[in-house]
Amino acid sequence: MPDIEVAGREVRITSPDKVLFPKSGHTKLDLIHFYQAVGDAALRGVHGRPMVLKRYVKGIEEEAFFQKRAPAKRPDWIEVAELKYRSGLSAEEVVCTDLAQLLWVVNLGCVDLNPHPVRLDDLSKPDELRIDLDPVPGVEWSDVLRTAQVAREVLADYGLVAWPKTSGSRGFHVYARIERRWPFAKVRKAAETVAREVERRAPDLATSRWWKEERHGVFVDFNQNAYDRTVASAYSVRAVADARVSTPLSWDEVPGCRPEAFTIETVPGRLAERGDPWADIDQHAGSLDGLLELAEELGPAPKPPKGEGRRQQTMPLIEIARAQHQDEAMAGFERWKARHSEVAAKLEPADVLVDAMRGRSSVWYRVRVNLQHVPEGERPAQEALEVDYDPWHGAHQPE
């Protein structure tokens, strides 16, 4: 097992030849070398922030498991911060302040880095507002980029500097540094206000609707600012086949950018040649006062779910599958389509709702179908699920 000397410490790398990305062939050691190459820039996104460990111990083609608590067996130089949760539980989460700590986290099988928007010295006041642009299936990438520009304009109009980055997946991220004056609830409210204002300015392009079946275009996801949410940070490698990287951009690069251009192979050279577009982000913390004033002007938004009771459905939804793995869920959907081929032919891409749901320590998958484009008399009834996985079997139900 090789040791890597970094930041005055030795970091042991276990199973360096383990292939994490089967299609591209990238190994754990390749991942380690990537984070070494982008070290200072990657640290900027996580420095002093508690993080959830999202571990792909068998590679990216197996589901990750989420670990909030720092491993009990850890070097004495690994820092932790105790986060308390609404359930009454707490967890000591890993905090990285140097590259040795970051590489130790990566060695655990963490492909991407998932920090909270707070820092070690004040865990109650975020210093980041995060907007996650999530396109509905069938939406063009160009629409995602246009939505990012509208989000930039909204933030600028209300006193905040917007910082763009690819998500490394289907969407796009826009961040803003904020003064550490507001609790999570206020930051989330400000982010929701950004989403509502983006929708108001570009109603054919974007939506702030919480319920997935009611969305169109690009969903401006404000809930990433809730207390227990994390987002893949700048320069995080993502668990996709070609090892894409969530890459900070300058705004003049955004039009025409392609997420597949930014990978574990290309980003280190780009960073060395051009520098980090987010190098000065910490110097631009702004106020939420303007957005919170706008929130009062707009009035209450429709309430998102709180986990209690059932709402009245506004769309004709049926559920197809609940599965531990996405391929199982989609295989169930294919069986359903084979039985209902005439109905399936009438579905639009956005009518197929595939949800990645958080379980106790891993993600499970739900597939639903919105029959809004199927004439009422031709809509099939709810049937027994093709796959019926219970993520809470043998455990207490989540709060």
Q: Average pLDDT for residues 159-187, to the nearest whole number?
A: 96
pTM for this predicted structure: 0.83
Instruction: Please report which confidence band the pLDDT of residue 360 belongs to, taking 50, 70 and 90 as the band edges.
Output: low
For 101-137, letters b (16+ CB in 10 Å) and e give bbbbbbbbbbbbbbbbbbbeeebebbbbbbbbbbbbe
Instruction: Please report which confidence band the pLDDT of residue 399 belongs to, taking 50, 70 and 90 as the band edges.
Output: very low
Q: Above pLDDT 70, what percent of the chain?
A: 93
Let me know: does 364 contact 337? Beta carbons within 8 Å: no
Residue 99 backbone dihedrals phi, psi, to 5 degrees: -70, -30
**Residue 268 pLDDT more than 80?**
yes
Q: Is the dihedral of CA 388, 327, 144, 20 positive or negative?
A: positive
Question: Strand 387-388 vs strand 317-323: parallel, antiparallel, or unpaired?
Answer: parallel
Least confident of 93-102, 302-311, 330-339: 302-311
Higher model confidence: residue 378 or residue 234? 234
Q: Is the dihedral of CA 197, 198, 201, 204 positive or negative?
A: negative
Higher model confidence: residue 132 or residue 349? 132
Give me the residues paired with residue 177 across strands: 128
Q: In angstroms, rounded to a whole number, what is the distance separating the alpha carbons of residues 53 and 66? A: 6
Q: In angstroms, rounded to a whole number, what is the distance separating the alpha carbons of residues 254 and 259? A: 10
Higher model confidence: residue 342 or residue 176? 176
Higher model confidence: residue 299 or residue 278? 278
Question: What count of other Cβ atoms lies within 10 Å of the Cβ of residue 6?
Answer: 19
**Residue 330 pLDDT more than 60?**
yes
Q: What is the pLDDT of residue 308?
A: 45
Q: What is the pLDDT of residue 305?
A: 53
**Residue 276 pLDDT more than 80?**
yes
Q: In angstroms, rounded to a whole number, what is the distance separating the alpha carbons of residues 366 and 348? A: 18
- Residue 174's alpha-carbon distances to 224, 253, 254, in angstroms, are 12, 14, 11
Least confident of 107-116, 129-138, 248-257, 317-326: 317-326
Q: What is the pLDDT of residue 369?
A: 80
Query: Model confidence over 4-18: pLDDT tens digits?
Result: 898 899 999 999 999
In 168-302, at which residue ranges do the beta strands (DSSP E only) sit?
Answer: 172-177, 206-207, 218-221
What's the whole-number average pLDDT of the chain? 89
Q: Average pLDDT for residues 26-52, to the nearest whole number?
A: 96
394 torsion bin: left (phi>0), alpha (psi -120 to 50), beta (else): left
In this structure, what token pair is assigned to residue 274?
């051009």
Q: Average pLDDT for residues 317-340, to the nearest whole number?
A: 82
In this structure, what token pair is assigned to residue 381?
């009834």
Q: What is the pLDDT of residue 1?
A: 55
Q: In angstroms, rounded to a whole number, what is the distance separating the alpha carbons of residues 196 and 62? A: 36
So where are the chain's domains?
A: 317-388
Q: Is the dihedral of CA 305, 306, 312, 318 positive or negative?
A: positive
Q: In angstroms, rounded to a whole number, what is the distance separating the alpha carbons of residues 293 and 299? A: 10
Instruction: Please report which confidence band the pLDDT of residue 309 belongs to, taking 50, 70 and 90 as the band edges.
Output: very low
Instruction: Please report which confidence band the pLDDT of residue 311 belongs to, taking 50, 70 and 90 as the band edges.
Output: low
- Residue 378's alpha-carbon distances to 79, 319, 352, 367, in angstroms, are 59, 17, 17, 20
DSSP 92: E
Pick from 194, 52, 53, 47: nearest CA to 132: 194
Instruction: Please report which confidence band the pLDDT of residue 84 belongs to, taking 50, 70 and 90 as the band edges.
Output: confident
